[in-house]
């Protein structure tokens, strides 16, 4: 199937491609341990199949505005003039303020984020990777997951990427997102239905935000540590005592304990035997599939978390998994960051972000430099901008879809990422970020590059025998924004 709804911006003179891509693309090559289903090609990348499971209609890549004359567009530069309006809706004319924060002292900050929330297997893989890195380097990398609320609801309203197909699927995805929060990762906003907002007015953006927050308000909460201090009250993924040894739902410690060779860990201490699933390979009752409408690719079956959940003699979550908002310890998780679907930002988006009191956005591309802030016209509110930056000598912005579209090898991607990191460090150690998707492009090679890049940073960005970024921190955008929004220390 063809790529759906992606936009390509080309800076002709420098041959830089800036691509904003749709949610939840997937290649046809599965993750290790899943049944093979054919070679992966960019042309076969697709989003969630339509709700009726019919073949998706191909939506061609379309242009968005004139090509730049040289390098990244001036509208993407943190120092660009914001005084002249443009017919291109992507030209942001709000006032910009470069960061006054000095990054030359303290750790080098690196951020890695995922646009996506569909596949259970990639929630599990990315959290497991973070745990391994914590053990190896004594500090856990924290990811930002930009999620679409449509995957957390069976009736989300208008959506370009489908929806959850069952209540069980919703409960498992909620639990995985909550587990990510419990482990220090961030959940952020990638729209309710992954709609192209380039021509949205302020009210349309606010409506989309309201829809997103209505769905997510029942999905994610502030962590509640358990009384032993070694875990959390929820979610609870329990192995099934009735499951035959090695079969779906049985407890396991390694892949060899499972007939499917897939022992997964929804939390650090609980291994459960899983198995592949899709439209043809359905999960057993009591389990849910992360991608139940995939026709050739597969995801994983996971058990529905255990309910009800009681705490301090009161119901925290009822038998159906619904939260009890009257419980004094149940606090909503505050979502403070946004990335526009298709990177389709306009002035009106930022007006909505000001009104919703968001702390940051990451919908822009820019020349290398520090983060900056967009200001409202009265100059009373601001939103931090963490752009994807293009360094000299690289193919494109640091995003996996771009490399897939350009048919670049994982080796070239890794080389470019290290070039960007070196440029950021040389440029007064400004933060550097990469953006990926819940996808297995290049037969999973691009996802492996993200993991290798995170480990490269945690290990010190070694060039020869010299560490370029000792004690670097791989942080979520939420953590980075918090560090920049702290008031300056008093002398």
Residue-range domain boundaries for the chain: 7-220+332-485
CB of 373 closer than 8 Å to CB of 101:
no
Token pair in block for residue 8: 């390509």
The residue written with tokens 């791989």 in the block is: 474
Cα 56–chain centre separation: 24
Residues 6+ apart with CB under 8 A from 89: 198, 199, 346
Which of 222, 230, 152, 216 lies closest to 188, judged by CA? 216
CB of 413 closer than 8 Å to CB of 403:
yes
Which one is the CATH code of 7-220+332-485: 3.20.20.370, 3.10.20.600, 3.40.50.300, 3.90.1150.10? Answer: 3.20.20.370
- pLDDT tens for the chain, residues 1 to 491: 333 334 333 332 232 333 333 333 332 222 222 222 223 222 222 222 223 222 222 222 222 222 222 222 222 222 222 222 234 566 789 999 988 889 998 899 999 999 989 999 999 999 999 999 999 999 999 999 999 999 999 999 999 999 999 999 999 999 999 999 999 999 999 999 999 999 999 999 999 999 999 999 999 999 999 988 789 999 999 999 999 999 999 999 999 999 999 999 999 888 999 999 999 999 999 999 999 999 999 999 999 999 999 999 999 999 999 999 999 999 999 999 999 999 999 999 999 999 999 999 999 999 999 999 999 888 789 999 999 999 999 999 999 999 999 999 999 999 999 999 999 999 999 999 999 999 999 999 999 999 999 999 999 999 888 899 999 999 999 999 999 987 655 55
The residue written with tokens 């769905």 in the block is: 215
Looking at the DSSP bridge assignments, the partners of residue 397 are none
- For residue range 272-327, list pLDDT tens digits in order: 999 999 999 999 999 999 999 999 999 999 999 999 999 999 999 999 999 999 99
Which of 261, 191, 231 lies closest to 23, judged by CA? 191
Residues 6+ apart with CB under 8 A from 64: 7, 8, 9, 88, 90, 198, 344
Q: Taking the CB of residue 74, how many other CB atoms lie within 10 A of it?
A: 14
- 207 vs 352: CA distance, rounded Å: 9
Question: Cα separations (Å) of 451 from 32, 112, 180, 417, 434?
Answer: 15, 9, 17, 12, 11
- Which DSSP string do the residues of 28-69 spell out, in sequence order? SSPPTTSPP-S---GGG-B-SPPTT-PPPPP---B--SPPBS
Looking at the DSSP bridge assignments, the partners of residue 384 are 360, 373
The SS3 of residue 81 is coil
- 491 vs 480: CA distance, rounded Å: 23
Can you give the C-alpha Rg of the chain in angstroms?
A: 22
The residue written with tokens 């606090």 in the block is: 331
Residues 6+ apart with CB under 8 A from 427: 368, 369
CB of 450 closer than 8 Å to CB of 115:
no
- 206 vs 197: CA distance, rounded Å: 11
């Amino acid at each position: 199937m063809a790529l759906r709804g992606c936009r390509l911006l080309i800076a002709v003179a420098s041959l830089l491609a800036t691509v904003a891509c749709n949610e939840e693309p997937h290649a046809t090559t599965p993750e290790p341990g899943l049944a093979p289903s054919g070679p992966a090609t960019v042309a076969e990348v697709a989003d969630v199949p339509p709700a009726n499971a019919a073949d998706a209609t191909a939506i061609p890549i379309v242009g968005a505005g004139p090509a730049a004359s040289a390098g990244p567009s001036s509208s993407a530069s943190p120092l660009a003039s914001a005084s002249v309006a443009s017919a291109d809706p992507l030209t942001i004319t709000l006032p910009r303020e470069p960061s006054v924060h000095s990054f030359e002292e303290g750790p080098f900050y690196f951020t890695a984020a995922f646009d996506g929330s569909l596949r259970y297997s990639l929630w599990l893989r990315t959290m497991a990777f973070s745990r391994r890195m914590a053990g190896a380097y004594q500090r856990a990398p924290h990811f930002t997951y930009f999620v679409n609320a449509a995957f957390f609801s069976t009736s989300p309203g208008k959506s370009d990427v489908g929806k959850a197909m069952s209540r069980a699927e919703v409960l498992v995805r909620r639990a995985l997102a909550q587990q990510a929060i419990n482990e220090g990762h961030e959940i952020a906003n990638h729209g309710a239905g992954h709609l192209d907002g380039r021509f949205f007015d302020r009210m349309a953006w606010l409506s989309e935000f309201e829809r997103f927050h209505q769905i997510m308000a029942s999905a994610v909460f502030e962590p509640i540590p358990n009384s032993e201090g070694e875990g959390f009250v929820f979610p609870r993924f329990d192995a099934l005592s009735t499951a035959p040894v090695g079969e779906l739902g049985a407890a396991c410690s390694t892949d060899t304990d499972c007939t499917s060779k897939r022992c997964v860990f929804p939390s650090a201490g609980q291994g459960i035997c899983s198995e592949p699933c899709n439209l043809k390979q359905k999960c057993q009752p009591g389990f849910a599939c992360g991608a139940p409408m995939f026709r050739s690719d597969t995801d994983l079956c996971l058990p529905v978390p255990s309910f009800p959940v009681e705490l301090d003699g009161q119901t925290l979550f009822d038998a159906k998994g619904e939260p009890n908002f009257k419980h004094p310890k149940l606090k909503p998780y505050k979502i403070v960051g946004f990335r526009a679907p298709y990177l389709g930002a306009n002035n009106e988006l930022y007006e909505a972000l000001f009104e919703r009191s968001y702390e940051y956005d990451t919908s822009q591309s820019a020349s290398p430099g520090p983060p900056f802030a967009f200001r409202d016209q009265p100059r009373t509110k601001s939103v931090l901008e963490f752009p994807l930056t293009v360094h000299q000598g690289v193919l494109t912005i640091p995003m996996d879809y771009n490399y897939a579209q350009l048919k670049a090898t994982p080796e070239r991607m890794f080389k470019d990422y290290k070039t960007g990191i070196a440029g950021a460090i040389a440029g007064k150690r400004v933060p550097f970020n990469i953006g990926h998707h819940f996808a297995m492009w290049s037969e999973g090679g691009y996802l492996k590059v993200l993991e290798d890049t995170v480990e490269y940073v945690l290990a010190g960005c070694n060039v020869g025998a010299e560490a370029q970024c000792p004690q670097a921190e791989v942080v979520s955008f939420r953590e980075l924004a918090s560090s920049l929004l702290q008031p300056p220390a008093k002398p």
